[in-house]
Structure 1
Amino acid sequence: MKDNLREAVVLFEEVMIHGTERVLKSVESPVWRLYSPEQLHLLKIVGKYGPIASGRIAVMQGVHKSAISNRLKKLNEKGLVEVERAEDDHRTKQIILTQAGHDVVEESNQAIYLYLEQLIDGKVEDDEIQQFIETFKKVKSILKIED
C-alpha cells in the first residue's frame, strides 16, 4: 500500500507540475493571452469561494498578500472583481467576481476543457475517467475540501 501511495503521490506531482506547464504553453484562447495564469487562478478561486477575503486567496495561491493586492488591483481596473469591506469586520476586504469576471473564468475553463479533451481523446477510456473521478472525490472528502 505504502509503495503504491508513494508512486501515486509522485505521479500526481509530476502531472501537476508538467501538466500545468504543458497546458499553459499549449492552450489557445484569447483570454490566456490577456491574463496571467496567476490572475486566472485568482478569478477561479473568487468564482468558487467568493465573496472571499484577500488573505485567504493569498494562502490558497501560496503567495504573500502583497502579490494578491497587486493582482486584485489589476483585475479590479479591468472590471473583473470588486473589492468590498466585510460587513462584520471593516478591516477585511471581501473580493467578489463581477459578471465580466465570471465570463473570463468560463472562457478559460472552456479552453482548458477543449484542450484536454483533444489531448486524451481515444487514449483514456470512460471507465478509467470514472475511476479517476471516484478516487478524487474520496481524496477531496478526506481533505474536507468544501464545494
Structure 2
Amino acid sequence: MKEQLKEAVELFEEVMIYGTEHVMKSVDVDIWKEYSPEQIQVLKILATQGPLSNSKLAEIQGVHKSAISTRLKKLEQMGLVESSRDPLDQRAKIVLLTESGAELLKVSGEAVYDSIIKLFGDQIDEHELQSFVETFRKLKTILQFKGM
C-alpha cells in the first residue's frame, strides 16, 4: 500500500502541475490577465471557508503574512474582498468575499470548466468520473476532519 500511495501522491502532484499549466495557457478570460493565480486562490478559499483572518489565509496558502497582506490590499482596492476587525480579537482582521469577488470567481470557474470539458470531454467515461468524485469526496472529508 505504501508504494501505491506514494505513486498516487506523485500522480496527483503531476496532474496539478500539468493541469495548472494547461488551464493557464488555454483559458482566455480577461480576469486571468488582471489577477494572479494566487489572488484567485484567495477568493476561492474565502468562498469555501467563509470569512478568515489574514494569518489563517497565510497558513492555508503556505505563505508569509506579508504576502497575504499584499494580495489582500490589492483585492480590497478592487472591491473583491472586505476586511473588518475581528469581534473576538480587536487586534486581528477578518476578511470576507464581496459580491464582486463572488462574481469574478463564477466567471473564472466557468472558464476553467469549459477548458476542462474541451480537454477531457470524450476521454473519461461516466464510471471513471464517478469513481474520481467519490475518491475526492472521501479525501476532502478526511482532510476537513484532520484540519479541526
Q: After TM superposition, is the score higher than 0.5?
A: yes
Q: Which residue of 2 aligns with 1:61?
A: 61
Q: How does 1:46-125 map to 2 (within 5 A)?
A: 46-125=46-125
Q: Which residue of 2 aligns with 1:20?
A: 20
Q: In structure 1, how many angstroms separate the alpha carbons of the residues matched to 2:2 and 2:78? A: 48
Q: In structure 2, how many angstroms separate the alpha carbons of the residues matched to 1:5 and 1:46? A: 30
Q: How many residues align?
A: 146
Query: Structure 1, unaligned stretches of length 5 or more?
Result: none
116-125 vs 11-20, greater mean Cα deviation: 11-20
Does 1:136 pair with 2:136?
Answer: yes
User: How far is the alpha carbon of 1:142 from its aligned partner?
Assistant: 2.0
| Root mean square deviation, CA, Å | 1.3
Give SS of 1:91's match: strand
User: How far is the alpha carbon of 1:4 from its aligned partner?
Assistant: 1.8
Give SS of 1:144's match: helix
For each residue in 1:31-51, what CA deviation from the matched residue of structure 2 results, as whole angstroms up to 9, or x when unmatched?
A: 111111111111111111121
Query: Structure 2, unaligned stretches of length 5 or more?
Result: none
Q: In structure 1, how many angstroms separate the alpha carbons of the residues matched to 2:116 and 2:58? A: 28
Runs ≥4 residues deviating over 6 A: none
TM-score by length of 2: 0.93
Q: In structure 2, how many angstroms separate the alpha carbons of the residues matched to 1:22 and 1:64? A: 28
Give SS of 2:70's match: helix
TM-score by length of 1: 0.94
Q: In structure 1, how many angstroms separate the alpha carbons of the residues matched to 2:137 and 2:48? A: 17
Identity %: 49
Q: In structure 2, how many angstroms separate the alpha carbons of the residues matched to 1:13 and 1:21? A: 12
Q: Which residue of 2 aligns with 1:37?
A: 37
For each residue in 1:40-94, what CA deviation from the matched residue of structure 2 results, as whole angstroms up to 9, or x when unmatched?
A: 1111111111211111111111110001100111111111110100111111100
Give SS of 1:28's match: coil
Amino acid at match of 1:30: D
Amino acid at match of 1:77: Q
